[in-house]
């Protein structure tokens, strides 16, 4: 069975500082991993996904994530936070043999301070 743990339900970062959101997964088969972002009063939008090609994945809005199998992690980073990055971020895992079955983490709310 697959599961996702996001460390920290709330993260506060200063504008211009590094954004680091942590995600650890468990999966019995090779996983596919996703980061989604949810802006206030909107649906979820895909930031990036890992599908067993490159372990360092670049996404939209300057975000990237690195798949580390040995650590079962898929942490999301952005070098310099912008006010527009304030949102809720969800990590999700899907197993290679379970088409469409996405398991989401609990989410991390990001606040960006001037």
Partner 1 sequence: EAQVTQNPRYLITVTGKKLTVTCSQNMNHEYMSWYRQDPGLGLRQIYYSMNVEVTDKGDVPEGYKVSRKEKRNFPLILESPSPNQTSLYFCASSASGTSGSMTQYFGPGTRLLVL
Comparing CB distances to partner 1, the nearer of 97 and 114 is: 97
CA distance 106 to 9: 7
Comparing CB distances to partner 1, the nearer of 4 and 11 is: 4
CA distances from 37 to 63, 69, 71, 78, 109 (A): 11, 23, 23, 13, 10
- The three-state secondary structure class of 71 is helix
For binding to partner 1 (CB under 8 A), which residues are involved?
4, 6, 9, 31-32, 34, 36, 41-46, 49, 51, 90, 92, 94-102, 104-107
- Nearest approach, Cβ of 74 to partner 1 (angstroms)? 14
Comparing CB distances to partner 1, the nearer of 32 and 74 is: 32
- Nearest approach, Cβ of 72 to partner 1 (angstroms)? 17
């Amino acid at each position: 069975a697959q599961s996702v743990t996001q460390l920290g339900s709330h993260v506060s970062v200063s504008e211009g500082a590094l954004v680091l959101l942590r995600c650890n997964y468990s999966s019995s088969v090779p996983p596919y991993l996703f980061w989604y972002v949810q802006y206030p009063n909107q649906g979820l939008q895909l930031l990036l996904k890992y599908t067993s090609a490159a372990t360092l994945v670049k996404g939209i809005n300057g975000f990237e994530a690195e798949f580390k199998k040995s650590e079962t992690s898929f942490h999301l980073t952005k070098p310099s936070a912008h006010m527009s990055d304030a949102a809720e971020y969800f990590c999700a895992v899907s197993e290679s043999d379970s088409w469409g079955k996405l398991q989401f983490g609990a989410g991390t709310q990001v606040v960006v301070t001037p």
